[in-house]
């Protein structure tokens, strides 16, 4: 990696095009991956701007909450940015629900573009321009990245900063490729790159405190590689971001680092998160590791490049795809979960082995960060599927160049198809249900599409946290998030003429009796079915 060439000019148009799928997925399909996508960013920004919107307990102050209980465990960086955009939209006449959602997407789209540009630079250093183009699209079209990349979730913001920051720390002793293939002088001294890398990792920490589990292993790896100067400048960059966080908390919560301190107390020290939201076994994330098949394969195959491995790796690629598609389903059999956990553990070990093979041109800081994050995550009691997202992306970014290098070296007839099957694995995931896929698309679409005509809204099934909040209604109107027709909220709404729209979300197969009873209750209250889509039914009166 010493004196590796850098491109004189990034293909920005192609990078922007590669970033579009994630943005379009978020603003056209709507829906949500997790309630936090709505209630920890959009609703807080709405409340800060207009004074209405759901305020979860994390954002409340005493006496609204018990002063002895944790409060203020999130910082205001993202909500303040979104609130500023909402005010700007008002100033220029962007006041519709979808107009506001597109406006809020713009800075996230710019961050996504910056992340993919970092992928291009990292891949160019290893596999050249053509290989970098392959890697760009492999990463950009990888299903979890498309699902998360445009979403207003902390995992989406933080992972983009992680990739960008680690790429800056990965770049060392690089020269810029000249117009005729030669090398010109460095554009930036190395310390500028490393300082920026530290600032970006700090931004990853600010936007999601849990990302410390990926940042700490990366910083330790710099020490393992004896990159003392890189470590020093990255630390200085991180300190700049930390000072900004301290000042922000001081202004908003009245205490420097208030949100970080209380977050750690609640989620790490006290064990309250696991007690409140549940715990899971340490091996839960191992099957999810198979959701990055070409990344894991690309890394694993670099342990040995012998021709005898190529047919086996091609077959293993297809097998991994099949196992991953089934193993991540919640109804997967215990035997399959055990098998996929063992397979995931073997993949993790093979990737870890690469860290000992210094002769391989590998993005080791990405690998160390991903595996360290995975280890810390596995040791933490409270687990959710979305938490694995940063590890999947870091492994995908790290593995793509090595996979492309291996695939381009194939010279055995008939193997190209198997290689293409592995390359296309990310796209295949769009066709199958996954715990990382978007939920309640049709429900959100109904609410946003009919916002102007809605004067009061009933959202039934999963109540508050299944609802699209006030943001997708776009105005302060009466609303009723409930679960069943006998809930007091619905009984009041049935008698209140302001409630003229409702949406019901079915649980699908097996809930036919409940669906019929619910529809009958809506009909008795004067509602009629106006539209159906997927599991969503839209009522009007």
| Cβ atoms < 10 Å from Cβ of 473 | 25
Q: What is the pLDDT of residue 41?
A: 93
Residue 110 lies in a domain: yes
Q: What is the 3-state secondary structure (H, E, C) of 272-284?
A: HHHHHHCCCCHHH
Q: What is the pLDDT of residue 529?
A: 93
User: Does position 293 have pLDDT exceeding 70, yes or no?
Assistant: no
Residue 213 lies in a domain: yes
204 to 73, 189, 229: CA distances (angstroms): 16, 23, 21
Strands 536-540 and 501-505, by their bridges, are antiparallel
For 419-437, letters b (16+ CB in 10 Å) and e give: bebbbebbebbeeeebebb
Q: Are residues 378 and 425 in the same domain?
A: yes
Task: Give 306's pLDDT tier (boundaries 50, 70, 90).
Answer: very low
The two three-digit tokens of residue 200, written as one number: 């970006």
User: Does position 220 have pLDDT exceeding 50, yes or no?
Assistant: yes
More confident call, 346 vs 491: 491
Which residues, 6+ apart, have CB-to-CB distance to 369 below 8 Å? 162, 166, 214, 215, 217, 218, 221, 394
What mean pLDDT is predicted for residues 496-520? Answer: 91
534 to 45, 504, 505, 531: CA distances (angstroms): 30, 11, 9, 10
Peptide bond into 63 cis (omega under 30): yes
Q: Are residues 353 and 498 in the same domain?
A: no
Tell me phi and psi for residue 536, to 5 degrees. -100, 140
What mean pLDDT is predicted for residues 370-385? Answer: 87
User: Does position 191 have pLDDT exceeding 60, yes or no?
Assistant: yes
Which residues, 6+ apart, have CB-to-CB distance to 70 below 8 Å? 262, 265, 266, 270, 272
More confident call, 112 vs 413: 112
What is 518-538 written as a DSSP string? HHHHHHHTT-EEEEEETTEEE
Q: Are residues 453 and 400 in the same domain?
A: no
Q: Are residues 391 and 446 in the same domain?
A: no
Element (DSSP H or E) covering residue 408: helix 389-408
Q: What is the pLDDT of residue 178?
A: 40
Structural domain ending residue among the three candidates 381, 412, 431: 431
Q: 388 near 435, Cβ under 8 Å?
A: no
Which residues, 6+ apart, have CB-to-CB distance to 292 below 8 Å? 142, 392, 395, 396, 399
Q: State the residue range of the domain holding 308.
A: 5-431
Q: Are residues 356 and 448 in the same domain?
A: no
Beta strands across the sheet bearing 457-460: 479-482, 457-460, 501-505, 536-540, 528-533
User: Does position 213 have pLDDT exceeding 70, yes or no?
Assistant: yes
Q: Are residues 169 and 208 in the same domain?
A: yes
pLDDT digits (tens, 9 = 90+) for 5-20: 555 578 999 999 999 9
Residue 356 lies in a domain: yes
User: Does position 316 have pLDDT exceeding 70, yes or no?
Assistant: no
pLDDT digits (tens, 9 = 90+) for 50-98: 999 998 888 988 776 776 777 889 999 999 999 999 999 999 999 999 9
Cα separation, 294 vs 304, in Å, equals: 16
- Count of structural domains, the chain: 2
Q: Are residues 99 and 11 in the same domain?
A: yes
Angle at 435 between CA 434 and CA 441, to 5 degrees: 80
Q: What is the pLDDT of residue 58?
A: 87
For 279-291, letters b (16+ CB in 10 Å) and e give: eeeeebbbbbbbb
Q: What is the pLDDT of residue 104?
A: 95
Q: Helix, strand or coil for residue 478? A: coil
The two three-digit tokens of residue 212, written as one number: 């410390």
Residue 35 lies in a domain: yes
Cα separation, 387 vs 427, in Å, equals: 21
Residues in the chain: 541
Q: Are residues 450 and 423 in the same domain?
A: no
Least confident of 156-160, 303-307, 355-359, 496-500: 303-307
Q: Are residues 237 and 170 in the same domain?
A: yes
pLDDT digits (tens, 9 = 90+) for 331-340: 666 776 677 7
Q: What is the pTM of this model?
A: 0.88
What mean pLDDT is predicted for residues 241-249? Answer: 96
Q: What is the pLDDT of residue 307?
A: 46
Q: Are residues 370 and 245 in the same domain?
A: yes
| Cβ atoms < 10 Å from Cβ of 298 | 30
Which residues, 6+ apart, have CB-to-CB distance to 287 below 8 Å? 324, 327, 328, 332, 337, 340, 341, 343, 344
What mean pLDDT is predicted for residues 414-442? Answer: 65
pLDDT digits (tens, 9 = 90+) for 461-498: 887 888 899 999 999 999 999 999 999 999 999 999 89
Closest by Cα among 95, 142, 425 to 293: 425
Listed in sequence order, the DSSP H helices in 425-496 are 425-428, 441-449, 463-466, 488-494
Closest by Cα among 148, 155, 387, 438 to 274: 387
User: Does position 183 have pLDDT exceeding 70, yes or no?
Assistant: no
241 to 83, 171, 207: CA distances (angstroms): 21, 21, 11
Q: Are residues 389 and 453 in the same domain?
A: no
Residue 436 lies in a domain: no
Q: What is the pLDDT of residue 464?
A: 83
The two three-digit tokens of residue 317, written as one number: 């690629």
Tell me phi and psi for residue 523, to 5 degrees. -65, -40
The two three-digit tokens of residue 274, written as one number: 């696991």
Structural domain ending residue among the three candidates 431, 453, 483: 431
Q: Are residues 482 and 403 in the same domain?
A: no
Q: Torsion angle of alpha carbons 517, 519, 520, 521, nearest 10°? A: 90
Q: Torsion angle of alpha carbons 31, 37, 43, 46, nearest 10°? A: -90
Q: Helix, strand or coil for residue 474? A: coil
Report the mean per-residue pLDDT for the chain: 83
Structural domain ending residue among the three candidates 431, 461, 494: 431
């Amino acid at each position: 990696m010493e004196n590796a060439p850098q491109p004189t000019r990034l293909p920005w148009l192609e990078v922007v095009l590669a970033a579009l799928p994630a943005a379009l997925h978020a603003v056209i399909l709507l829906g949500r991956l997790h309630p936090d996508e709505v209630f920890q960013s959009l609703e807080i920004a709405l409340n800060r701007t207009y004074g209405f919107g759901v305020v979860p307990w994390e954002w409340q102050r005493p006496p609204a909450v018990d002063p002895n209980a944790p409060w203020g465990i999130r910082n205001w960086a993202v909500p303040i940015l979104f609130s500023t955009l909402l005010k700007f939209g008002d100033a220029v006449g962007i006041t519709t629900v979808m107009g506001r959602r597109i406006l809020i997407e713009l800075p996230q789209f710019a961050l996504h573009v910056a992340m993919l540009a970092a992928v291009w630079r990292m891949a160019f250093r290893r596999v050249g321009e053509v290989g970098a183009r392959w890697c760009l699209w492999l990463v950009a079209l990888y299903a979890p990245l498309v699902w998360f990349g445009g979403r207003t979730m902390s995992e989406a913001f933080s992972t983009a900063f992680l990739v960008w920051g680690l790429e800056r720390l990965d770049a060392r002793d690089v020269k810029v490729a000249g117009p005729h293939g030669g090398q010109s002088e460095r554009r930036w001294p190395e310390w500028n790159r490393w300082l920026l890398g530290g600032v970006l990792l700090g931004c990853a920490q600010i936007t999601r405190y849990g990302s410390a589990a990926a940042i700490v292993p990366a910083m330790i790896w710099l020490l393992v590689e004896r990159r003392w100067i890189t470590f020093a400048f990255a630390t200085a960059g991180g300190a700049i971001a930390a000072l900004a966080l301290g000042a922000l908390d001081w202004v908003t919560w009245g205490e420097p680092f208030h949100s970080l301190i209380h977050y750690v107390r609640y989620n790490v020290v006290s064990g309250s998160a696991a007690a409140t939201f549940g715990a899971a076994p340490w091996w839960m994330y191992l099957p999810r590791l198979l959701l990055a098949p070409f990344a894991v394969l690309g890394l694993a195959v670099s342990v040995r490049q012998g021709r005898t491995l190529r047919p086996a790796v091609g077959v293993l690629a297809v097998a991994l795809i099949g196992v991953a598609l089934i193993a991540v389903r919640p109804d997967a059999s215990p035997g399959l979960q055990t098998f996929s956990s063992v397979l995931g553990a073997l993949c993790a070990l093979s990737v870890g082995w690469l860290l000992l093979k210094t002769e391989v041109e590998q993005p080791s800081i990405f690998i160390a960060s991903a595996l360290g994050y995975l280890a810390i995550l596995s040791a933490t009691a409270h687990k959710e599927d979305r938490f694995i997202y940063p590890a999947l992306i870091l492994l995908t970014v790290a593995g793509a160049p090595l996979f492309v290098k291996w695939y381009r070296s194939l010279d055995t007839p008939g193997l190209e198809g198997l290689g293409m099957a592995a390359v296309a694995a990310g796209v295949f995931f769009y066709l199958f249900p996954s715990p990382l896929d978007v939920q309640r698309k049709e429900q959100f679409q109904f609410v946003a599409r009919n916002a102007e005509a809605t004067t009061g809204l009933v959202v039934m099934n999963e109540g508050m946290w299944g609802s699209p909040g006030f943001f997708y209604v776009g105005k302060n109107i009466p609303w009723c998030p409930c679960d069943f027709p006998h809930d007091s909220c619905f009984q009041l709404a049935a008698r209140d003429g302001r409630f003229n729209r409702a949406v019901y979300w079915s649980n699908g197969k097996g809930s036919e009796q409940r669906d019929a009873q619910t529809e009958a209750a809506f009909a008795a209250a004067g509602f009629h079915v106006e539209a159906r889509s997927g599991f969503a039914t839209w009522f009007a009166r």
